[in-house]
Amino acid sequence: MNNYQKAIENSNIVSKTDINGIITFVNDEFIKLFEYEKDELIGKNHNIIRHPDTPKESFKTLWETILNKNVHKATVKNLSKSKKTIYLNTTIIPILDEFENIIEFIAIRYDITNEVMLQNELEKNQKIIFLQSRMASLGQMLANIAHQWRQPLTELNLTLFNSKKAFINKDEKEFEKLYQSSKNLVFGMSNTIEDFTNFFAPQKQKEKFLLNLSIKETLKILSRIIEDENISIKFDLVKSLEIFGVKNELTQIIVNLINNSKDAFIQKEVEKKEILIKSYKKDDDIFLEYSDNAKGLEKEVFDKIFEPYFTTKHQSSGTGLGLFISKIIIENSFEGEIMYENTNDGLKFTIKFPIKK
């Protein structure tokens, strides 16, 4: 038993307190980590190492657990004497006497500060990448708005010119016709703004929504580009399929896929440009398949497409973030999975969404 105790004390950060939380023992690892002398700790309340950021509710839960004679386990944020933040995986064990009364508490800890700091840094970098992707999407969407508005603005200019002629000629019938035409053009431009506003709205509330309607709404954003690039999009969608997630994040995924196909069609000089979007249910999952005939991916880049900043496009037209962000959204927001494969004439993405019951 003594050898077992020595092994624990030599390989972990150990302390003991009485039932009031007053420190009665600390091992050498504890002293070394928290940078106190032993006599600065013995007889002091254990909250001497408490980090001010730790919520009071956490300590309330801790005391309720151990006073009920249960073991408490948690990752705890602590503070050393020199104000250094320390993260510890902590296990607190109530020690009972022969009458089942608590006589002391033993806390055994393992230092995970480096792991937590690394995770925080990764999350920080991921937020930066998300922001960069959002800014890239904003630039892309602004270009799409300009593209969507170019033709109606030309038509509106011509209509206003003809309205002036009709007014001068006192042709009320023609003037009324041109007036209604102008209203329709302005209404269409207003709808374009509404579509793009919905795309960029900070919608983070998850909800169930119809997959086929969301896809159709997404295509309205890109309708002018699809028409100008002469891209044929075919659908095989099951109308009743619902998925659970953030609606405009799915829009971002579909926009990324279509823009990638459009650029690949141009880069590889595909004459007959085709996209097929298909949905179906299988077992407890809903699947969305997206495929094009843009000649697929070369072997040397096939395994890299989800890497951040990797792009097969010219640097002026690609950030290399679209598919990376799409993968994160699918995995984190929709709790799904995205797979891809080369087909006979292009590339196919398969997205799997779990059915929420």
Counting every residue written for the chain, the total comes to 357
263-296 pLDDT, tens per residue?
899 989 999 999 999 999 999 999 999 999 999 8
Parts of the chain belonging to CATH 3.30.565.10:
201-356
The whole-number pLDDT of residue 166 equals 85
**Amino acid residing at 239:** K
Task: Name the 3-class secondary structure at 317.
Answer: coil
The whole-number pLDDT of residue 249 equals 84
CA dihedral 128, 134, 136, 141 (to 10 degrees): -170
**Amino acid residing at 209:** F
Distance CA 67, CA 285 (A): 45
Q: Which residues of the chain have pLDDT under 50?
A: 1, 3-4, 7, 314-318
The whole-number pLDDT of residue 322 equals 74
The whole-number pLDDT of residue 10 equals 60
95-117 pLDDT, tens per residue?
999 899 999 999 999 999 998 88
The whole-number pLDDT of residue 316 equals 43
CATH architecture of 1-114: 2-Layer Sandwich (3.30)
Q: What is the pTM of this model?
A: 0.51
The whole-number pLDDT of residue 1 equals 45
Strand partners for 58? none
Parts of the chain belonging to CATH 3.30.450.20:
1-114
Distance CA 72, CA 90 (A): 8
Q: Longest C-alpha distance within the chain, in Å?
A: 109
- Cα dihedral 70, 71, 75, 81 sign: positive
By the 8 A CB rule, do 208 and 286 touch?
A: no
CATH architecture of 201-356: 2-Layer Sandwich (3.30)
The whole-number pLDDT of residue 4 equals 46
